[in-house]
Amino acid sequence: MKRVCVTGAGGFIGSHLAKRLRGMGYYIVGADWKHPDSDCIRADESCDEFHLVDLRKYDNCLRVTAGCAHVYQLAADMGGMGFIQSNHSACIFNNSLINLHVLEACRVNEVDRVFYSSSACVYPEHLQLDERAIGLKESHAWPAKPQDAYGLEKLFAEEAYAHYGRDFGMTIRMARFHNVYGPYGTWKGGREKAPAALCRKIAVSDDALEIWGDGEQTRSFIYIDDLVEGVLRVMFGDDPRLQGVAINIGTEELVSINDLANEIMRIASKRLRVVHAPGPEGVRGRNSDNSMMRDVLGWEPTTSLRNGLERTYEWIKSRASNDPSHGRSEVVRQEMIPL
């Protein structure tokens, strides 16, 4: 059995990916500084070993990646717009340490293949000023001017991983994820993203629904099972165009936040009064261009937004109805956590 490390295995995407890889017969070493709680896929379902460690520290990175054939670097201090726009310093400090230390540990431990999870947040703000968003191609990332520190750090880390690939002959795979949603995603606490936040608000309300901004800002969303499939295709793909290059994994199904809310209300069979309130909105419009994905992977996501939202809404509704506070959430400014 090949030993595979998934960092961030206590989180949304990491736990789904670890579970899928374990089902494929790999021996999974999970690492995270948070143990999966009742809202996550349990560690004993997704991992053979689970290490509760701070991956900002190099020694921990060295330990969890030792003897591993593959490493998937998914650990990050992150959340939806509310979190990212309130925590620039934490995103820069924590994520750059994690990314560099995991990468260097992979080099020292002679890991065969390394996957790095980047984000659509790397793209320049000036290409995302219009809700009729142009599809963002991989080459649009440079010259760089991401909106937030979170996106700039992701772009820096992409460069670091690409350089290690060139300098040390490491096999490096990278992808830019575009708004991932699905069951077991964060749905309360201030780090949740728009689909989960809207599902929660709609599940617990019989009257009003608050939406940040005018709701005409647009995004495309990818369902978790499609995302995991895309990650595996990128990781195992042997097309030379994948070496050290970050490829979009998203959908091209552009939707406004108002339309997203309307779709969830239809699924919930509710008609709530929409209240537009000031809040962190992120860029005005963002869509993926999947040309490279089609060309290099010969693949595209298949889950429709309607179908993915149905599954997500049911899961969040069951969680919110069992939560005494109904998952009431606020944007959080977290304390810096000392090393």
Phi, psi of 222 (to 5 degrees): -120, 135
Shortest Cβ 76–ligand NAD spacing (Å): 3
Closest distance between ligand NAD and the C-beta of residue 74, in Å? 4
Is 257 a binder of ligand NAD (CB under 6 A)? no
C-alpha 178: how far from chain center: 7
231 or 267: whose CB is closer to ligand NAD?
A: 231
Tokens 């290099």 locate to 296
For residue 143, cis peptide bond before it (omega within 30 degrees of 0) = yes
In the complex with ligand NAD, the residue whose CB is nearer, 252 or 276, is 252
Q: Contact between 82 and ligand NAD (CB under 6 A)?
A: no
Nearest CA to 289 among 245, 253, 252?
A: 252
The distance of closest approach from Cβ of residue 132 to ligand NAD in the complex, given in angstroms and rounded to an integer, is 22
Return the residues of window 158-217 that contact ligand NAD according to CB under 6 A: 177, 179-180, 186, 193
Question: By the 8 A CB rule, do 118 and 160 touch?
Answer: no
Residue from 311, 309, 119 nearest 198 by CA? 309
Q: Which stretch binds ligand NAD (CB under 6 A): 74-82, 124-132, 158-166, 261-269?
A: 74-82
The DSSP string of 6-41 is EETTTSHHHHHHHHHHHHTT-EEEEEESS---TTS-
Q: How many residues bind ligand NAD (CB under 6 A)?
A: 26
Is 58 known to be catalytic? no
- Site of interaction with ligand NAD (CB under 6 A): 8, 10-14, 32-34, 54-56, 74-78, 94, 98, 117, 119, 177, 179-180, 186, 193
Q: Would you name the residues annotated as active-site residues?
A: 150
